[in-house]
Amino acid sequence: MSRQETGLFAPFEYPFSDGSSSSSPKDTLATPELITDHSYRISSIIRPGGEGHYDFKDLALPEGWQEVGEGISAIDWERQRKIFEIVCAKNYALPGDLIVEPSTGLLKEVRVEVDKKYGGGQATVALNRDGEYRASKMSNARMFAPLMGTVASFLNKVQYLRNDERQIMSIAHGNQGYYSTNLLIPDTCLKSEGPVTTPEYQAEFKKKAQEIGVKLGDKVKWAHFDEQGILNNVSLSWGFGGACSYELDRRGFGKSAYSPHNVDGARQAAVLHSVVASFINDMLDQGHIYTPFGIYDAE
């Protein structure tokens, strides 16, 4: 059975379109050598101007994706579709199309619609010629996990084909609430002999964290750094079960990840994830790296 026969891919059908879609049936990506790739970054959610629709930042094709070649075309998209439907169901969203660009095998577009009982809305995330996945009409926080998670799942398969262990991280929804997948601190931060940040940086970052919260629609009340200068806790509010927060958990074997506490809402997860992502990206900019399984020292 061909891909078109499965009914999973509809590159020329736009059931959620009102005529203002960023894509069109005639729109195609540039040839592979002209599509931009990007250095490794932690993707996040933004809201330009602090109002209107949400968007994704740093959700992009990784460096060297062209080297994978035919491996991308061999991805099992029927399985991906089933995972997409499960993620949508957990977020009270209806799965739309998964559109694959035929000449490259790249995931080109993902569409979802949220049930009207939970705020409604229709949104798309699409790959542009700059190699970035950008959202259109993403107005409901319940859209974050299905769209971001589906793209991240595809990009992680590309990472696997490239033999790159670094994961593309995203927001997800499980039985205990919302969380971020594999939101890890670079290993070299933990191995640093001295603090990795200064008091001045920490003060400025706390202001930045508050700005991120305001733009995404929540208030960051606490951003704490440990003695190594590592961000180890971000909290939004206090409730019956304690703080709604992300906290650095150092108990993992060889890795330290940020774990959620009382994160019941997608927007809360977006704020916490995006604050932590901003810190990790700062560390990457400083030259800190992830090492295989967290056991090798940086050169």
- Condensed to tens digits (0 to 9), the pLDDT of residues 178-198 reads 999 989 999 999 989 999 999
* DSSP letter, residue 51: S
Grade residue 241 by pLDDT with cuts at 50, 70 and 90. low
Find the helix packing angle between 144-161 and 266-285, rounded to 10°.
40
What is the model's pTM? 0.86
Give strand ranges (E) for 17-59. Answer: 44-46, 55-57
Displacement of CA 212 from its chain's centroid (Å):
16
Average pLDDT, integer, range 235-248: 81
One-letter amino acid at 214 equals V
Distance CA(235)–CA(238), nearest Å, equals 8
Displacement of CA 280 from its chain's centroid (Å):
13
The 3-state DSSP class for residue 225 equals strand
Grade residue 29 by pLDDT with cuts at 50, 70 and 90. low
Tokens of 154: 């595809």
Question: What is the predicted pLDDT for the residue at 125?
Answer: 97
Question: What is the predicted pLDDT for the residue at 70?
Answer: 81
Q: Kindly report which listed range (34-38, 203-207, 276-280) carries the lowest average pLDDT score.
A: 34-38
Q: Kindly report which listed range (131-140, 206-215, 242-251) carries the lowest average pLDDT score.
A: 242-251
Distance CA(218)–CA(263), nearest Å, equals 13
